[in-house]
A and B are shown apart, each in its own frame.
Chain A
Amino acid sequence: MITFKSYDGETFDIDETVAVELKTIKHMMEDGCAGNEIPVPNVTGKILAKVIEYCKKHVESGKAEDQAASDDLKAWDADFVKVDQATLFDIILAANYLDIKSLLDLTCQTVADMIKGKTPEEIRRTFGITNDFTPEEEEGIRRENQWAFE
């Protein structure tokens, strides 16, 4: 059993088989830098709980051998990412920091799906992004995009 301690002091006891899914932690353990309690400074308890939930589920499911098990896992993944945008982004950052490839792929694909088919204005609104182009700069890029690359 390994104990993780989040940024805000929450602790989680998890099986070693699950802990090694977090590549960053796995490397720490291999290098002998990890004691009984491993601090995870960049991740809050709320998000760490979600990350551990994901890793537990995927370790339990193993290599989904048959189509039915694989479909079930996909459905579980689809539900897993049905969270508010802030949580989703925090999970992405955690997955990136902790180097959990499959979780990073899943969450980045989810964000990509939120982008596809949208106009630039819609994308900005969805993610609360400020347009820092001048009108002339934006017009120039749009023209180049449409005239040259479409």
Chain B
Amino acid sequence: MAYSFPEEVLEHVFSFIHTDKDRNSISVVCKSWYAVERWSRRRIFVGNCYAVSPVIVTRRFPELRSVALKGKPHFADFNLVPEGWGGDVFPWIATMARAYPMLEELRLKRMVVTDESLELISRSFKNFKVLVLSSCEGFSTDGLAAIAANCRNLRELDLRESEVDDLSGHWLTHFPDSCTSLVSLNISCLGSEVSFSALERLVGRCPNLRTLRLNRAVPLERLPNLLRRAPQLVELGTGAYSAEPRPEVFSSLEGAFGSCKELKSLSGFWDVVPDYLPSIYSICSGITSLNLSYATIQSPDLIKLVTQCPNLQRLWVLDYIEDSGLEALAAHCKDLQELRVFPSEPYGVEPNVALTEQGLVSVSEGCPKLHSVLYFCRQMTNAALVSIAKNRPNMTRFRLCIIEPQTPDYQTMEPLDVGFGAIVEHCKELRRLSLSGLLTDRMFDYIGTHAKKLEMLSVAFAGDSDLGLHHVLFGCESLRKLEIRDCPFGDKALLANAAKLETMRSLWMSSCSVSYGACKLLGQKMPRLNVEVIDERGPLDSRPESCSVEKLYIYRSVAGPRRDMPQFVSTMDEDSELRLS
């Protein structure tokens, strides 16, 4: 029985449907549903800012309130994307300023955000509430001053891991006295001192503040005053956690923490002095998330801290924790879901800590809910990986970074094919995988055969031939993002699986063996893909067809080739012959 509801009823039904996938499904059901859906959509997520244009977005969705955009590919985090590549958000802001005067939320990741963009945001959106700049760059504290001064209803200002031209800490004073709406403030990436009195007053007059991540320059002695003004905090990032050992500072800290009954997440702890750590013990039983990746303290102190947190769900820590610390973690933190272990000395030649594959095996044995792992280490065995796989078939994200490329199983000297093969075979819900160590084409065969839910794969210094790439492109049905560096993959697998590339968000290949000719051919064969060659060695048109390109970034797009490319980026398409000559 076909029912046609009045539009307002259909809109009311749709108001209970939120996920991107569901909203996209209802838009395709029939014409009237498409129309009601596009008028009632309030939030979108654009995983690749070049896959669509601001004009297409504003034309389709006239009433958005919340926009999320991602710019540079993930390997930009490892400095593989040259300066000036793109990802400038300004064209988006300019278009949205006209189309969405009621815009409330902007979440940007790996985009270039200038002060001009920030100023335009602050002037254009009267009800602007949320600004999250994750791993962004291009702006200074002047831009932040504009946001602070003009966004009267600001709830969230989160600068996580952005690179900010830190001219002075004075920008914070631009929050007017009438601003009482802050819920979340994350300035942990800033270098210079902010005005402490302005910060204290701001914190004191925002009763709904639940997240406060300070920067390193906020000294420990200032922390108790801040905490006393915000006992309702749920997430706290401290500044530097060091001072001369003074009992009155300690007891002030301890008292201040004691009154924060809602704290669940802690971070910061730069330069932490072990003597001051017990000041947080009283709240440890409530802690579910602990980020100690800046805490340069040794294993015994880490163990003392971690064993106080029985409800810990997420731990980010330096490898100072060592195998013994991870064993203690496994014994005490049975709710652990996510573990990230970062290297304290990534460029050192010799191991500086007693952290081996055993630490990860212990945690995989002891923590039944562990499903997300990022682990930097210097040695691994197939046996350890097989254990981890069998212990944790519920693993969804597994990123292993053996620091030295092409390191084999140190006991058998074999490649780690069997170990990673066990991971993909047993962990049937695996969505993200990063590989390292010595790996042959056989490993990729395992991935293609078993990793059916894998969405993102990162590969470096692995494989023997094109067959490796072919296994992945051919077998991984759910693959969305593939990033490859320094692998002997060339033209064959890429051209044979060209159609696959339209089913993925993007493919990145750098320092591989893909020829300029193959890139041109791919661009011609697949007009809906943007095949972008990144090559800083000079103009491409004089190159022989067989020459390998430095870097290749291929992504599907409904917006055609982008028009903001720098000199060193060229799009391969039907017209590329004309454009390059």
One of A123, A133, A144, A149 near B31 (C-beta < 8 A): A133
Structural contact, A143 and B558, CB atoms closer than 8 A:
yes
Q: Any chain B CB within 8 A of the CB of A120?
A: yes
A130: contacting residue among B13, B30, B60, CB under 8 A: B30
Instruction: In the complex, identify which listed stretch (B20-28, B282-290, B424-432, B537-545) lies at the interface while the others stay far away.
Output: B20-28
Cβ-defined contact, A89 with B5, below 8 A: yes
Contact A128 B28 (CB under 8 A): no
Which of A85, A117, A118, A129 gathers the greatest number of chain B CB atoms within 10 Å?
Answer: A129
A108–chain B nearest beta-carbon distance, Å: 5
Q: A112-B17, A115-B22 are in contact. Are A127 and B2 (CB under 8 A)?
A: yes
Q: Bits for A120-150, please: 1 = Cβ < 8 Å to B, else 0.
A: 1001100111111100001001111111111
Residue from B3, B8, B19, B31 with most neighbouring chain A CB atoms (10 Å):
B3
Chain A residues with Cβ under 8 A from B60's Cβ? Answer: 144
A29 close to chain B: CB less than 8 A: no
- Cα(A119)–Cα(B216), bound, Å: 49
**B186 an interface residue at 8 Å Cβ cutoff?**
no
* A residues near B3, Cβ cutoff 8 Å: 89, 127-128
- Residue B56 contacts which of A119, A123, A138, A148 (CB distance < 8 angstroms)? A148
**A145 touching B2 in the complex, CB below 8 Å, given contacts A93-B9, A108-B13:** no
CA distance A131 to B27 in the complex (A): 11
Residues from 40 to 71 in B contacting A, C-beta threshold 8 Å: 44-47, 51-52, 56-57, 60
Chain B residues 335-367 with CB under 8 Å of chain A are none
Chain A nearest Cβ from B463, distance in angstroms: 28
Q: Give residues of chain B (248-270) contacting chain A, Cβ–Cβ below 8 Å.
A: none
In whole angstroms, what is the CA distance A132 to B288 when docked? 50
Interface size class of chain A, counting residues whose CB lies under 8 Å from the partner chain: 35 or more
Q: Is A82 an interface residue (CB 8 A)?
A: no
Complex contact A115–B52 (CB within 8 A) = no
CB distance from A94 to the nearest CB of B (A): 11
A/B pair count, beta carbons within 8 Å: 103
Whether A123 pairs with B45 at a CB distance below 8 angstroms is no
Please determine whether B20 and A129 come into contact, CB atoms closer than 8 angstroms: no
**Cβ contacts under 8 Å, B14 to chain A:** 112
Question: Do A124 and B56 form a contact, CB below 8 Å, given A119-B25, A146-B24, A150-B24?
Answer: no
Interface residues of A in 38-82 (CB under 8 A from B): none
Residues from chain B with a CB closer than 8 A to the CB of A141 are 27-28, 34
A92 CB-CB contact with B under 8 Å: yes
Contact indicator B24/A96 (Cβ below 8 Å): no
Q: In the docked arrangement, what's the CA distance between A92 and B47, Å?
A: 37
B-side contacts of A127, CB under 8 Å: 2-3
- Per DSSP, chain A at the interface is helix
Instruction: Assess whether B436 is interfacial by the CB under 8 Å rule.
Output: no
Contacts of A116 in B (CB 8 A): 17, 19, 22
The answer to whether residues A132 and B27 also contact, given A144-B56, A150-B47 and a CB cut-off of 8 A, is no
Residues of B within 8 A of A20 (CB): none
Q: Given A124-B29, A141-B27 in contact, is the A147-B51 Cβ separation under 8 Å? A: yes
Indicate if the CB atoms of B52 and A144 lie closer than 8 Å: yes
Measured CA separation A105–B57 after assembly (Å): 30
Report Cα–Cα, A112/B5, bound state, in Å. 13
Determine the distance from Cα of A106 to Cα of B14 in the docked complex, in whole angstroms: 13
Give the chain A neighbours of B245 by CB distance below 8 A: none
B578 interface residue per 8 A CB criterion: no
Residues in chain B near residue A120, CB distance under 8 A? 25-26, 28-29
Chain B residues, CB < 8 A from A2: none
A93-B9, A127-B2, A149-B46 known; A115+B30 contact, CB < 8 A: no
Greatest chain B CB density within 10 A among A89, A115, A124, A142 is at A115
A109 within 8 A of B: yes
Q: Would you give the 0/1 interface string for A91-117, flagging 1 where the beta carbon is closer than 8 Å to chain B?
A: 011001000000011001101110111
A141 and chain B: residue at smallest CB distance: B28
Contact A144 B558 (CB under 8 A): yes
Nearest Cβ distance between residue B34 and chain A, in whole angstroms?
Answer: 7
Q: A93-B6, A127-B3, A133-B34 are in contact. List 16 more A-B contacts (CB 8 A).
A: A89-B3, A93-B5, A115-B13, A115-B22, A115-B26, A124-B29, A124-B30, A128-B3, A129-B2, A129-B30, A130-B2, A133-B28, A141-B28, A141-B34, A149-B20, A149-B24
Of the A-B pairs whose beta carbons lie under 8 Å apart in the complex, a sample of 14, sorted by A's number, is A96-B8, A104-B9, A108-B9, A128-B1, A128-B3, A130-B30, A141-B28, A145-B24, A148-B558, A149-B44, A149-B52, A150-B21, A150-B45, A150-B47
Nearest first, the 7 A-B pairs at minimum CB distance are: A148-B52, A112-B16, A145-B24, A120-B28, A108-B13, A128-B2, A108-B12
